[in-house]
Copies of this chain bind each other. A is one copy, B any other.
Amino acid sequence: MRALVKPKAGTGMELLDVPKPACGPNDVLIRVHHAGVCGTDLHIWNWDAWASGRLKPPVTIGHEFAGVITQLGPEAETTGVLAVGDEVTAEGHIVCGHCLQCRTGSSHLCGRTQIIGVDRDGAFADYIAMPESNVMKLQGIPTEIGAIMDPMGNAFHTVFETDVTGSTVFILGCGPIGCFAVGVARAAGASLVVASDLIERRLEIARTMGAHVTLDATKEDVTARILDLTGGEGVDVVCEMSGHPSGHAQALAAARLGGRVNLLGTPSQTTEVDFARDIIFKGLTLYGVTGRRMYQTWHQMQRFLRGNQLDPLPVITHRFPLERFAEAIQVIKDGQAGKVILEIGP
């Protein structure tokens, strides 16, 4: 079968012919239809410090996908939940199931997590084998949307970590996850959703997703605007999606006394923090967002998508067949893309 592989240390990826993965007793084999390209894949392509420290090539890339079940392992079959022909997506974090975190409702923080497309073979391929317990039926959600439920789940996790209904929310950074977050916050009844970015094209998508106000951080004093928009109070909730030290500074300044800052953007540098002024005297709560709550986040997402409470399609800006993966990487590098999809099968 075809697989987009990081064959060895160094930049780039290669489309190779590799054997179909084996389907273990507790696994299901899935024919991939659509897959999403993520910033993480760009890091892997670039073979930056994080990627070279973590990946052990050769490894098939890709962790956002949806497709159709073609085979079930004998134990997976006994549960009677999944069947050949089911359209499915999957949580890409494969967790140990036994540690404190897994046993107490935080398996998204399992210390032994294996991420597909990073720590083991991933989804930019014709087939992928997944543990049955990670796989969910789409039941009417198109596979193209199913393929982006992983990053959309990051947005749900970030936004829903606080009750945003009736709240003022600041989405700081309008990459695909930030844009999903705008839509999620609106659908959940946030009273004011402000989004900021450095790139006008992304702010345009944020507006389409329902942002009440968008701020171009290259032209406006973001913190001052947030205070203006909230009667000088600051917002109830900040979703930090930029991962830049300047984003952290704005996030802490924009949150009101007693506010909440949910941090998803992962910076590559440290940030200088004035704990007294910006966290302690303000009584702030900060929360670091990793992955998706397994599987509360997925259920919320299914409810929203099946109830037509959220239309994520405006975030998808590009679609490429698997062979044109290099172009997919390039449009992300260019910074003008929303979500980029690979069309793989059938």
Interface residues, chain A, with chain B CB atoms under 8 Å away: 25-26, 74-75, 79, 81, 96-98, 100-101, 103-106, 108-111, 133, 160, 163-167, 187-189, 191-192, 233, 243, 248, 256-258, 263-264, 266-268, 270-276, 279-290, 295-296, 298-300, 303-304, 306-307, 309
Q: Are B285 and A281 within 8 A (Cβ)?
A: no
What is the minimal beta-carbon distance from A226 to any residue of chain B, in angstroms?
15
Q: Out of B189, B243, B280, B309, name the residue touching A276 (CB < 8 Å).
A: B243
- Shortest Cβ-Cβ A-B pairs, 4 listed: A280-B288, A191-B307, A279-B288, A103-B295
A298 CB contacts on chain B under 8 angstroms: 103
What is the minimal beta-carbon distance from A268 to any residue of chain B, in angstroms?
7
Q: Are A103 and B280 within 8 A (Cβ)?
A: no
What is the minimal beta-carbon distance from A303 to any residue of chain B, in angstroms?
4
What is the minimal beta-carbon distance from A244 to any residue of chain B, in angstroms?
10
Chain copies in complex:
4
A266 CB contacts on chain B under 8 angstroms: 275-276, 280-281
A267 CB contacts on chain B under 8 angstroms: 275-276
Q: Are A189 and B79 within 8 A (Cβ)?
A: no
Q: Are B109 and A257 within 8 A (Cβ)?
A: yes
What is the minimal beta-carbon distance from A53 to any residue of chain B, in angstroms?
12
26 contacting pairs across A/B (C-beta < 8 A)? A25-B75, A79-B98, A81-B96, A100-B299, A101-B257, A103-B296, A105-B105, A105-B296, A106-B258, A109-B258, A109-B282, A165-B189, A166-B300, A166-B304, A189-B189, A192-B307, A243-B276, A248-B275, A264-B280, A266-B280, A266-B281, A270-B273, A271-B272, A271-B275, A282-B290, A283-B288
Given contacts A79-B96, A106-B258, 6 further A-B pairs with CB under 8 A are A81-B98, A105-B105, A105-B296, A111-B257, A160-B165, A271-B275
A75 CB contacts on chain B under 8 angstroms: 25-26, 75
Residue of B nearest to A248 (CB): B275
Q: Are A289 and B296 within 8 A (Cβ)?
A: no
A258 CB contacts on chain B under 8 angstroms: 101, 106, 109
A300 CB contacts on chain B under 8 angstroms: 165-166
